[in-house]
Amino acid sequence: MKKIIVICLLGLALFGFLDKKVQTTQIVKNVYAGYTVDSDNALQNAIENKQSNLQIGGSGEVIKILADDLKGSRHQRFILKIASGSTLLVAHNIDLAPRIDGLTVGDTVESFGVYEFNNKGGVIHWTHHDPRGQHQSGWLKHNGSTYQ
């Protein structure tokens, strides 16, 4: 009897995990489907108005690849130049999401994450899923692959 209860509990846990994965995938597809050039305009508007803590999308060209930040959670870091000419630091948590392998200067990267203003243009972070399910998931898109 104990074995049957344990098997049932494991089955329910697996079902809940798979169901949550399906929901997360659908959210990312819906967010990406809504990405437009207007997202770049909204990002530029946030920079000009020195806004922070905004969940926002954008796209840009990689102009510099920086060393990973290894203090605390590890982050892949690079600088994007968006269409307006503004620059952004992307800090992509590689403890929670896959690294973008093969990223080179000149590549285009699309992003959806949290924007924080600074005097150099700003930072995009939270470009990954939330393992606790309490924050809207972010992502990066490069060469047809989504990293979250």
DSSP 54-65: EEEEEEEEEEEE
pTM exceeding the 0.85 threshold for the entire prediction:
no
pLDDT digits 0-9 by tens, 5-56: 545 454 444 444 434 333 333 333 334 444 445 667 888 889 899 999 999 9
Residue 44 identity = Q
Cα–Cα nearest to 63, from 41, 85, 42: 85
Strand 87-93 vs strand 123-125: parallel, antiparallel, or unpaired? Answer: parallel
Q: CA torsion 111→116→119→121, rounded to 10°? A: 10
